[in-house]
Structure 1
């Protein structure tokens, strides 16, 4: 309950900062809550995937809702059946999923190093630089909830549950591929150790079904095996081995004037440093695999540099060594540090939307 309670408290704080920044910019905060990707998710929840894939005169694909994975809008649609409008339903899904994620992260940290670390792991994730997405109609909170409880299942060697949860994660975001790999490698380790009989075999085979199933569906709709990746080109998004990120980081650190690019560049470098720190920390192999691949996916995609903090949000493994270090501090010190960190993080996300007019 403390983990869930602090999660809700910091989300309220962040939304308050968004309201203040919106007031300063003379716009309504409601304009941002349902904007950007939220428009696409609520459209899918309301109308399904009713758009026909199109090709523009230059040969590029037109923007299409098939890029957005189905589980989050499906849960939103379920709530619309009981009378909620699409946007409030989507925000409800985000809130409940965020609470489930905080609970799962607490369990992970508690099992690793005690309740204090579990609480800090949940809190640090909830106030990360990309946490603005947690109180918007975005699917990050749902993905992290599924990832957290999947890793709990793996640690308890409940392979069928881990495989099933990974299937659902694969229907949430493409970055769930990192979790598929983590569960698969953990299952292979268990098989090599001759543990748990046939269960790791089945769990490992279940893990990729959601992701592969949806990519296959998009391939059928587009008539291309690479259909989902092709549709991403409508947003100039593709895997570029980190070239775009490196160019933006270099610009942010060498420009004559500071901007949101500079702040985002610092966040990217901090994420790389934290990843290196996790490699020096004794963690389960599935955690290492998941964390490394999530960072790789987040930093090696082109375009939308301002979204790097949000893309890194599912990489909560990066906060584990920080949680272990902060757990040694007195509670009164944490009572100051954590709210200050939450306020700074909320300012960053709110500035992007209300002042810079960029998607988080």
Structure 2
């Protein structure tokens, strides 16, 4: 029995190396483009006469670092208006927990956060390459990973934010679903549920995929278990916040401190109209164009032959991103996990020669990097 396990490990090692070699271009380009984007942020910081480290550790990153260092140590208190004041319970625990683990070996909290973001981004690029490759070949896989890593919201990938960790879990969950590894896919969905609230879109996709397998009588009891465990992380954390606040809607109630709630897109479309009709162009105009592009891409994905779980996940992620109030400038970041939007573009760009892509992709990278850096250094708002 032991010899059999040893033989399997020896056999799997070359296949793992081969898989990594296939994904290496996607991972390498991800790293190169993040370096370029960070360089743009550094130059914009230099122009603003502020250290880039201040921006990396600001906004949401500051909250994540606080949780990593101190846990959820803030009491729940009310402001003069009767609503809760800002509280770290809104920020999900998995990302700060991984940061805290790295600090145990002597890495400073900010360095640990950047390390987690970098490694998770590499894992996400690998997973997205596998998804695109299995759908339409290695060239499409490479482009899906690259387009995700240079999208308008990609500034979050080199900040102390949890988007890269969520995307790594999302990508590999879909890889496991395609391979009918139901228990592992459900387990990753549990971890995603401990990362961000938008993981609800992934959990729904896993549930639908499991139901389809059950109705088709495939894989026995495994789809049942995979689908049933998928929401446990998200529900578990909501339950924890319920206990801390004494309210079953505690997490959503705490969001009121940031004026955040689901408003069916009213705030977003008000801001889009302002951005497109204002006398002076600004970051609001750019963000409005990003939102409109996302809507167009969403319709495009519906017209593209994609797996149903991908369609469900992509649509719900876009709905969640565009139907929340406040923080209009963060729409690009909220849309970042919607990797499905990149697929039809990747299918189209795959037909172009390499010399065209060698110009087009760096231009998009610099444009996206400037947009995110401008929000941080000039507009002084969270990306």
TM-score by length of 2: 0.94
Which of 23, 40, 55 is matched with 2:78 structurally? 55
Question: Residues of 2 paired with 1:57 and 1:304: CA distance?
Answer: 22
| Alignment of structure 1 residues 292-307 onto 2, 5 Å | 292-307=315-330
Superposed counterparts of 1:129-144, under 5 Å: 129-144=152-167
Counterpart pick for 1:104 among 103, 113, 127: 127
In 2: Cα distance, 1:63 partner to 1:275 partner = 33
- Runs of at least 5 residues in structure 2 that lack an aligned partner in the other structure: 1-23
Q: CA deviation at 1:26?
A: 1.6
Partner of 1:123: 146
- 1:304-315 to structure 2, matched below 5 A, reads 304-315=327-338
The count of residues paired between Structure 1 and Structure 2 equals 360
Report the Cα offset of residue 27 of structure 1.
Answer: 1.4
Q: What's the CA shift string for 1:66-124, capped at 9, x where partnerless? A: 00000000000000000011110011000000000000000000000000000000000
Aligned match for 2:343, one of 320, 323, 337: 320
Aligned match of 1:65: 88
**Distance apart, 1:249 and its partner CA:** 0.2
Which structure would you say has the larger Rg? 2
Q: What is the TM-score normalised by the length of structure 1? A: 0.99
1:331 matched to 2:332: no
Moved over 6 A (4+): none
RMSD: 0.5
Per the TM alignment, residue 57 of structure 1 is displaced from its structure 2 partner at its CA by 2.2
* Residues 194-209 of structure 1 aligned to structure 2 (within 5 Å): 194-209=217-232
Gaps of 5+ in 1: none
Q: Indicate the residue corresponding to 2:239 in structure 1.
A: 216
- The partner residue of 1:190 within 208, 213, 235 is 213
Secondary structure of the 1:301 match is coil
Deviation at 1:257, TM superposition (A): 1.1
**Matched position secondary structure for 1:196:** coil
- Partner residue in 1 for 2:270: 247
**Number of the residue aligned with 1:231:** 254
Q: CA deviation at 1:261?
A: 0.4
Q: Tell me if 1:348 matches 2:356.
A: no
Alignment of 1:11-26 (within 5 A): 11-26=34-49
SS of the residue aligned with 2:160?
Answer: coil
* 1:113-166 Cα deviation digits (max 9, x unpaired): 000000000000000000000000000000000000000011111100110000
> How far, CA to CA, are the matches of 2:68 and 2:259 in structure 1?
25
User: For residues 102 and 67 of structure 1, what CA distance do their matches in structure 2 show?
Assistant: 27
Q: What displacement does 1:233 show?
A: 0.4
- Structure 2 SS opposite 1:219: helix
